[in-house]
Amino acid sequence: MKLYTGSPYWSILTDMNIKQFPNLTKNIECDVLIVGGGITGALCSYYMNEAKVSTVLIDKNEFASGSTIINTSLLHYEIDTTLNKLSKIYGKQNAIRCFQLCRKSLYDLKTLINHTNINCEYVPRKSLYVSSNVFEDIKLLAEYRSRKNAGFKASFINKKIMKEHFKLQYSAGIYSYDGAEINPYMFTKNLIHYSSLNGLRAYENTELISIDYKKGYNIAYTQNATIKAKKIIFATGYEAQSLVDSYTTTKFKTTYTLTTKPIKNTQKLWKDNSLIWEAKNSYTYIRRTKDNRIIVGGYDTNYKGYMPSTETIEKKGELLLKQIKELFPTLDIEKDFVSAGIFASTDDELGYVGSLEEYPNCYFLLGYGANGVLYCIIGSQILRDLFLYDYHHDADLFSFYR
Ligand SMILES: Cc1cc2nc3c(=O)[nH]c(=O)nc-3n(C[C@H](O)[C@H](O)[C@H](O)COP(=O)(O)OP(=O)(O)OC[C@H]3O[C@@H](n4cnc5c(N)ncnc54)[C@H](O)[C@@H]3O)c2cc1C
């Protein structure tokens, strides 16, 4: 499955000494085998390894070369399904809990970075969830009130404040705290490297080809060797979909991102350089990078089973460029990289974490939805606890049977 096309800007922009890992050539055993070394597999192997679980991580390609390489990493605890909408689906307490878990995962991310001291261009950011017309404003105000009542720290930004203080032309917005941005490529590579120095066995260019399901354990077959594991975790990103299709509400889209050249002569591109994302259905999302570039994404279309042509990508890039120039008319903005990637959303915009009877001794950790990275932090902790204690208080919220 081709996950993206165009220029994977993180790998091009990131100047780092990349450690290569070997492929697996001899039969081994472990407690947990994690398949897929993107940001999900990196997080899951970190949490397993820290809990002293004997863990093996494999990827059929290089680590961090799947969706992770084009992930824009706007990390905000707010879920694409508003708290009000999620409350209607799962009840108020469950909806609040999902938001709280996402917020907690941001604190856990900070703890992880402090603990490992990995370089990943982490910057704490506020988030600005914006509306474009008066109808969206009304919904946004109701959402703001619900979040405040639930104890989330936020401010409502009306049109006047938006114009005068934020210098933006949006109609209104919810300004939230506790967000962050990272370089997901650097994060993934460096986290796997850190874990490998602390006990994780990691193998690149090692593909899971088939599984022999046994009582209490599985045998995983790769090209050159087998891995005997008590549990196998699928952290194979969007490529896992064919295994779980009938249990999910997944819809694949194609999303487009433009990364500008570094913006010159500016310390602050916009107020607090907050993460900006729109309340619309197919929405635009904006962040900055450490070297003063703007990343803007959007113009999603339904995924047709193949990647768009170079011509389409360029056209979408021009649209994104036009949009960002209109938003920041005083900045000198030039296009640098454009890419298109598959993106998986679900009806409730939550990811999937847990097991299915069809696959004995296996778990899935699927960071679907725009909060994919945070779901993978939450999910890694859920799976660690399910492995160790057969219980996690919040497991049902993200299960296939929710
Ligand atoms: C354009 C874009 C923007 C995004 N922005 C955000 C955002 O701002 N915030 C956010 O939280 N989330 C965001 N997401 C979602 C987020 O990217 C995903 O949740 C996450 O990057 C996926 O990482 P992953 O590790 O699950 O998958 P991947 O990075 O795709 O990793 C899966 C790995 O599994 C390997 N694999 C597959 N099959 C096998 C096999 N049989 N054997 C061995 N290895 C195998 C692949 O080679 C791959 O390396 C975005 C996604 C996209 C596409």
Banded model confidence at residue 16, pLDDT cuts 50, 70, 90: confident
Q: What is the DSSP letter of 6?
A: E
| Candidate of 259, 373, 378 to mutate for ligand 1, largest count of ligand atoms within 8 Å of Cβ | 373
C-beta separation of 341 from 4 below 8 A = yes
Q: How many domains does the chain have?
A: 2
Q: Tell how far the Cα of 375 is from the centroid of ligand 1, in angstroms.
A: 12
Whole-number pLDDT of residue 270: 86
Q: Tell how far the Cα of 19 is from the centroid of ligand 1, in angstroms.
A: 20
Residue 239 belongs to some domain of the structure: yes
Whole-number pLDDT of residue 101: 98
Residues 168 and 309 in one domain: yes
Q: Match 């850190």 to its residue by tokens.
A: 194
Q: Whose CA is nearest to atom 49 of ligand 1?
A: 66
Instruction: For residue 235, give the ligand 1 atom closest to its CA.
Output: 26
Whole-number pLDDT of residue 215: 97
Torsions phi, psi of 65, nearest 5?
Answer: -105, 5
Whole-number pLDDT of residue 18: 79
- Characterize 258-290 residue by residue with b for buried, 16 or more Cβ atoms within 10 angstroms of its Cβ, and e for exposed: bbbeebeeeeebbeebbbbbbbeeebbbbbbbe
Whole-number pLDDT of residue 333: 94
Residue 100 belongs to some domain of the structure: no
Q: Tell how far the Cα of 3 is from the centroid of ligand 1, in angstroms.
A: 8
- Cβ of 367 closer than 6 Å to ligand 1, yes or no, is yes
Whole-number pLDDT of residue 231: 98
In whole numbers, what is the pLDDT of the chain averaged over residues?
Answer: 96
CA distances from 175 to 56, 125, 143, 239, 240 (A): 41, 11, 12, 35, 35
Residue 328 belongs to some domain of the structure: yes
Residues 263 and 317 in one domain: yes
Q: Tell how far the Cα of 70 is from the centroid of ligand 1, in angstroms.
A: 9
- Cβ of 365 closer than 6 Å to ligand 1, yes or no, is no
Which residues, at least 6 apart from 53, have a Cβ–Cβ distance to it below 8 Å? 31, 32, 384, 387, 388
Whole-number pLDDT of residue 269: 73
Q: Which helix (H) or strand (E) holds 349?
A: none
- Cβ of 276 closer than 6 Å to ligand 1, yes or no, is no
Q: Tell how far the Cα of 58 is from the centroid of ligand 1, in angstroms.
A: 14
Residue 201 belongs to some domain of the structure: yes
Give the residue ranges of DSSP H helices in 1-131.
9-13, 39-50, 83-90, 92-116
Residue 383 belongs to some domain of the structure: yes
Residues 341 and 275 in one domain: yes
Whole-number pLDDT of residue 68: 97
Question: Mean pLDDT across the stretch 120-140?
Answer: 96
Question: Mean pLDDT across the stretch 103-109?
Answer: 98
Residues 266 and 393 in one domain: no
Q: Whose CA is nearest to atom 21 of ligand 1?
A: 68
Give the residue ranges of DSSP H helices in 76-230.
83-90, 92-116, 134-149, 159-164, 184-197
C-beta separation of 174 from 147 below 8 A = yes
Whole-number pLDDT of residue 391: 97
Dihedral sign for Cα atoms in the order 372, 143, 152, 280: positive
Q: Which of 325, 345, 365 is the last residue of a domain?
A: 345
**183-187, 257-261, 288-292: segment of lowest average pLDDT:** 288-292
Banded model confidence at residue 266, pLDDT cuts 50, 70, 90: low
- Cβ of 333 closer than 6 Å to ligand 1, yes or no, is no
Instruction: For residue 188, give the ligand 1 atom closest to its CA.
Output: 25
Residues 304 and 364 in one domain: no
| Candidate of 4, 59, 62, 67 to mutate for ligand 1, largest count of ligand atoms within 8 Å of Cβ | 67
pLDDT tens, residue by residue, 198-210: 999 999 999 999 9
Residues 171 and 198 in one domain: no
Residue 335 belongs to some domain of the structure: yes
For residue 265, pLDDT beyond 90 = no
Q: Quote the domain boundaries for residue 65.
A: 4-70+185-248+349-398
Question: Mean pLDDT across the stretch 362-391?
Answer: 97
Say if pTM beats, i.e. exceeds, 0.75.
Answer: yes
Banded model confidence at residue 17, pLDDT cuts 50, 70, 90: confident
- Cβ of 233 closer than 6 Å to ligand 1, yes or no, is no
Query: What CATH number corresponds to the domain at position 277?
Result: 3.30.9.10
For residue 139, pLDDT beyond 80 = yes
- Characterize 17-53 residue by residue with b for buried, 16 or more Cβ atoms within 10 angstroms of its Cβ, and e for exposed: eeeebebbeeebebbbbbbbbbbbbbbbbbbbbbeeb
- Cβ of 336 closer than 6 Å to ligand 1, yes or no, is no
